Amino acid sequence: MTVSLRERVPLAPYTTLGLGGPARYFLECRTEAELREALTTARARGLSVQIIGGGSNLVVADAGFPGLVLKVAIGGVTHRDAADGVEVVAGAGVAWDALVRQAVERGWVGIECLSGIPGTVGATPIQNVGAYGQEIADTLVSVRCLERDNLGEVVFTRDQCEFVYRGSRFKGRDRDRYVVLDVSLRLRRDILPQIRYAELAQAIGRHGALERLEPGQAARVVRDTVVELRRRKSMVLDPTDPNARSVGSFFVNPVLSTAAFDELARRRHAAGEVDGIPTFPADGRVKVAAAWLIEHAGFAKGYRYGGVGISTRHALALVNHGGTTTELLALAQSIERAVYERFGVRLEREPVVVG
């Protein structure tokens, strides 16, 4: 088998931001065999390799990428009965929200709060994708990967993935070492969804108590409510919404030690500021709302910088209004600097920057 690489392929259309220059070489891999052959070809030709999925967490440099970009498009969804529900195996290239929709339609519970998130299944364990009180670590059984150097297959159990808030071993110490092939999830039948996020609970409450519904109906209510909440924040893919040309949240909510949070509170008190900082418990530490930090550092919703800006609906989303990646990263740096100078907190970027 010989793969045929395309040359000088624009990458902007493969991202939700719509920014970035071309890939020197590009290939969409629909099978594991194509992926192995492409990696072998790249090694033989001395090409650097960048793996992409749905492009919803990707910022590509204006100059593009000088090596080989491989878009993983491995499909397929299978499921089998398990002792306490159903085990679902989905290929890395499957659209994540399509999988969530399928699960909810079948009455399977466990990922309904992750509705409306763009991107592919393969990205979810890397980022430990989460929203509205759920994260992929809650239901993940295993991740099957291809090691890029020796092309060997490796399966990681949930515990071996070393999940943390918005991260995993694949984003940390093993960054760029593996390519996700498929993901196995354990979902439940005949139970009501658990609602752990106050905003979601309040929104669902307007529709009546979930306890009055059958589990499958309740899961559909949760999905519909989550999608509506995300739509109000321009956090779903919508070509008619100018705020949707983003990567969603550009920054991660900082998780501080209690000592670091006490220092933050002391600084604010010393400055005569008495309004509370939105916080959430995080395994003995304190999670601080990054959007609040950004707005209180002087960057309001709708702020513009050249051809980019901040969403008019959500301060965590940086939006492309016809600008450049250079402008976007300059804006990100300005926000990071202002937040640090004002609060002593360093913001961490959520998307991958390529090139």
Active site residues: 166, 249, 350
Helix-strand-coil split of the chain, %, nearest 5: 30, 30, 40
Nearest to 143 by CA among 120, 129, 126: 126
Q: Which helix (H) or strand (E) holds 58?
A: strand 58-60
Which residues have CB under 8 Å from 185's CB, separation 6+? 87, 88, 89, 90, 110, 111, 136, 139, 140, 141
* CA torsion, ordered 93, 96, 97, 103, to nearest 10 deg: 110
Three-state SS at 121: helix
Q: What does each C-alpha distance from 195 to 122, 133, 165, 229 come to in angstroms? A: 25, 7, 18, 14
